[in-house]
Amino acid sequence: MSSLFGVLFDGFAYGMLLFLLSVGLSVTLGMMNFVNLAHCSFAMIGGYAAVTLMNEWGWPFLVTLPIAFLAGGVASIVLERVLYRHLYRATDLDQCLLTIGIVFVSVAAAAYLFGTTQQPVNTPQWLRGSVTVLGVTVGAYRLFLIVVALVVSAILVAALEYTRFGAQVRAAVDNQRMARGLGIDVDRVFATTFALGGGLAGLGGALAIEIIGLDPAFAFTYLIYVLIVVSVGGLGSIGGSFAAAAVIGISDMAGKYYFPELGAFLIYLVMVGILMWRPAGLFGKR
Amino acid sequence: MSTLGTLDARGTPAAATPQQVLADGIRWKRLEIIFWLCLLLPFVLTPSYLSLASQIAITALFAVSLDLILGYAGIVSLGHAAYFGLGAYAAGLLAKWGWGEPLTGLVIAAAVAGVFGYATSFIISRFRHLALIMITLGLGLLLHEAANSASGLTGGADGLQGVKMWPIFGAFKFDLFGTTAYVYSLVVLFLTVLVARRIIHSPFGLSLRGIRENAIRMPAIGASNDAHIRKIYTIAAVMAGVAGALLAQTTETVSLEVLSFQRSADVLVILILGGAGRLYGGIIGAIIYMVARDQFSGINPQYWYFWIGLLLVAVVMFLPNGILGGLARLTRSWRGKWW
Amino acid sequence: MVSDAAASNVAAGKAQGAIAALSTRALAKNFGSLVVASDIEIALPQGARYALIGPNGAGKTTLINLLTGMLRPDGGQVLLGDEDITTLDPQARVRKGLVRTFQINTLFPQLTALEAVLLAVSERKRYSGHWLRKLPAHGDAIDEAYAILDSLRLGPVCHRLTRELAYGQQRLLEIALALATKPRVLLLDEPAAGVPRTESAELFTAISGLSQELTVLFIEHDMNIVFRFATRIIVMVGGRILTEGTPQQIANDARVREVYLGGAHRG
């Protein structure tokens, strides 16, 4: 029984990580329909930034997290201003290809700068091992991860509901043309959201190292999971990303634990099945 | 612009009837004939590279099959390698189980890929945009995982062993020099491109272009997009299966790689590089990509993908219709007689 | 809220024993609490030239979408002749002869004008399944496509790419595509929208040249066109039919003037 709980807990923690990595892509895809397959490259940049600060300059782990967020955000802004801006009206295919090209470049660059081995991470003492909460023993780091993700979700939802910027984001996702007609500077809203999404990905990348490691292939390997979360959860939906990430995280963990021969088969099957049932995702626009 | 009363878009005098103009557009052009003749050059110029030439022909065929669904019907597929791999494993297994005759093996393998293509076409035709991309990706990954797990059948990560091909027509053995392989691959490529060419220049091909240009307008003129898409997807699956079978037969091995995302992504890059929707784009792209890869094979694979990445970015930003598209723009005045 | 004029029109049609070419019964559609169509009853006799007018947002294009099957109604029926087509797909309705054009050009940019019309003809004749016969071999279809373009004065530019045509020519191509399907009922959605005065003469010729057997319903804002071509006008407001009548009746109707804030005639 406790192993079932363990699988659920670890799965949920993994799901929360996927949520942080995916939420930015979901919202920007829903808003501008821009297929950015390089989203996990931002996560990778955040991860490598954190690692460099920790290992080269001895910064404490917690302090590197906001820097990772910034790194992801800045990389997003640069890419958006220089390249993406010109392709908002391009076809799905063109956007796919451009961003795949950027992934290739980022993977090669990471390999060149940091080598191909896994990066070590220096988590603080109090995050290692396990803690006992309400009589249950769980991994400390995973608990930390869940807490961070929940806090971020709360902030996102609150910002979306109660701030003017949040209202603009919701309007732009719902109906871009109408939003423009109302005088909302959709391009600026998009650029800001894009930067925030990239920042969250960067944060996710830094947090991910302890759980799933960091190497140059990260931008590709986790891209597939992120795409699954986004397409299953529904474009433009924070709640959808949260639900989908949790489901995918738990399914993947359960699959690997209970049916190891199946490998990743279960996840792909779940995705194809859900998309066939609801092509716009569980919570997407119909 | 409206003073161009005597010349049309193709530079043909307007005295020609509409039927003649259309027929002119699809005649065999001189450049086409020259191109095919050039493909015979490796026998004379680079006889030691005939194995590579076979590989290029096979990849070119695979790219043309993708062009039919991507360049002509507008279906973005990230999992086309599924049918390539199915054809490869079907041909390989057939030979392993004792029937090593190449031509019949090719036909059977193509049929296997075609059946799967037909079955999945019912799913594919119902979706668009991101859902479609993800479903094609998912189906490809599923098949790859399934093949990996079924290692008893497929040999798993070690690949299929014991594939032995009989000589073609009982006389032409597959030798180390690759002569038979290249002749075989080239002939199959040529025949398949003939079929593709005919499809593109048929009323069905016109309907496909209609779907690509404006899928919403099609039902409004009485067309059924689903039926058209299912048809072309099945045809493309058969062709991809032929390419895969050729690979299995000419190299006498099959590895999991034939079903990988890598292969789906590579063929997509190749097609875009050469130019989609132009029939020959896939072939041009294959030649350039594979020759370059062979030349730079000494370099660390990571750096190879660095340059491919930059190339992709450059192509999308500056050369959206690929190499052939760029050439078309530059040489617009030559149209009509030469191509 | 169907006017007496409309009701008597439907009744008159039934009395004569003539079945309306296109009619609806209590057609309704809503998106949540937003009602875009309510209790729509129209009856177009064969050969009619009816105009559908109303302020923006009245639901005119929605009605076209409901009639053609691009939108499923929440209630009511659509009848083509005496056949209930309410559950048919858009392409099935086209095959039965109910065709529309689009307010915003919805064409095939990279096809030539001839190829576009040929595509429509080929689909109608079911040649679109031929995948191993060359296109030029289908001479009858090509001749028919060219004839349609020629009748709309688009013959000289038939080999031009659609995206290179002038805007007015593209609007004509919209109509050509519809004609290629040999419609019995034609729904024109603002055919003159965006066409500059200098190019609208061709358009007028095209509309007046439409076969007398063809039943036409067109949405228009330009009152000159409405009064020139329509024998009867239907006025829609807020998803409902306000009234229906001859151009003279409508011009004199105080409610219609009110709805247009100051006049049914535009400058």
Mean pLDDT within C88-116: 93
Q: What would the pLDDT profile of C137-190 be if each residue is shown by its tens digit? A: 899 999 999 999 999 889 999 999 999 999 889 999 999 999 999 999 999 999
Closest CA to A85 of A48, A46, A32: A32
Whether C and A touch (3+ CB pairs < 8 Å), yes or no = no
Q: Can you give the pLDDT at residue C1? A: 44
Question: Is pLDDT above 70 for C112?
Answer: yes
Counts for chain B of helices (H) and strands (E), in that order? 16, 0
Interface contact flag, B123 A108, Cβ < 8 Å: no
- For residue A173, the model assigns a pLDDT of 78
Return the higher-pLDDT residue of B12 and C256: C256
Q: Do B217 and C133 touch (CB under 8 A)?
A: no
A160 touches chain B (CB under 8 A): no
Given pLDDT bands bounded at 50, 70 and 90, which one contains residue B290?
A: very high
- The mean per-residue pLDDT over the stretch B308-329 comes to 85
**Do B50 and B182 touch, CB atoms closer than 8 A?**
yes
Lowest mean pLDDT among A45-49, A136-140, B318-322, C263-267: C263-267
Per-residue model confidence as pLDDT tens digits over A94-117: 888 899 899 989 999 998 888 888
Residues in C touching B228 (Cβ below 8 Å): 128
Predicted pLDDT at A24 = 87
Look at C108 and B333; give whichever has higher pLDDT: C108
pLDDT for position A217:
84
Strands C22-31 and C34-40: antiparallel
- Rounded Cα distance between A194 and C206, Å, is 49
Interface contact C130-B207, CB threshold 8 A: no
pLDDT value at C205 more than 70: yes
Pairing of strands A136-139, C75-80: unpaired
pLDDT of residue C267: 41
User: Comparing A260 with B112, which gets the higher pLDDT?
Assistant: B112
Q: What is the pLDDT of residues B43-97, one digit of tens each?
A: 888 888 888 999 999 999 999 999 999 998 889 899 999 999 999 999 999 999 9
Is B203–C138 a contact, with Cβ atoms under 8 angstroms apart? yes
Cα dihedral A45→A50→A51→A57 (10° resolution) = 130
- Residues B130, A29: C-beta atoms closer than 8 Å: yes
pLDDT at res. B1: 33
Nearest CA-CA partner of A117 in A42, A20, A63, A51 = A51
Predicted confidence (pLDDT) at residue B5 exceeds the cutoff of 60: no
Cα C175 to chain centroid, rounded: 9
Tokens of B18: 């509409």
pTM over 0.90: no
Q: What is the pLDDT of residues C77-94, one digit of tens each?
A: 999 988 999 999 999 999
Task: Give the ipTM.
Answer: 0.85
Residues 264-303 of B with CB under 8 A from A: 265, 268-269, 272, 302-303
Q: Per-residue pLDDT tens for B11-47?
A: 555 568 888 888 888 888 888 899 999 888 888 888 8
- Residue A99 CA: distances (Å) to CA of A87, A96, B310, C41: 11, 5, 10, 52
> Does the pLDDT at position A118 exceed 80?
yes
Minimum distance, in Å, between the CA of residue C15 and any CA atom of chain B:
34
CA distance C135 to chain B (A): 5
Average pLDDT of C67-78?
A: 91
B209 contacts in chain C (CB < 8 Å): 108, 110-111, 115
Say yes or no: B215 contacts chain A, CB-CB below 8 A.
no
Q: Kindly give the interhelix angle for C113-124 and B18-26, rounded to the nearest 10 degrees.
A: 100
Residue of A87, A269, A275 with shortest CB distance to B142? A269
Let me know if chains A and B touch, i.e. at least 3 Cβ pairs under 8 angstroms: yes
Q: What is the pLDDT of residue B210?
A: 94
Could you tell me the CA-to-CA distances from B176 to A192, A260, B179, B246 in Å, in that order?
59, 41, 8, 16
At A282 the pLDDT is: 80
pLDDT for position B47:
83
Question: Would you state the pLDDT for residue B53?
Answer: 92
Report d(CA C115, CA C112) in Å as an integer. 5
Buried b (16+ CB within 10 A) or exposed e, B52-84: bbbbbbbbbbbbbbbbbbbbbbbbbbbbbbbbb
Confidence of residue B339 (pLDDT cuts 50, 70, 90): low
**Cα separation values, B334 from B14, B36, B320, B338, C110, Å:** 18, 20, 21, 7, 19
- Residues of chain B in contact with residue A231, where contact means CB-CB under 8 angstroms, are 130-131, 134
DSSP string, B145-213: HHHHH-HHHH-GGG-B----PPPBTTTB---TT-HHHHHHHHHHHHHHHHHHHHHHTSHHHHHHHHHHH
pLDDT confidence band for B262 (50 / 70 / 90) = confident
Mean pLDDT value of segment A228-252: 89
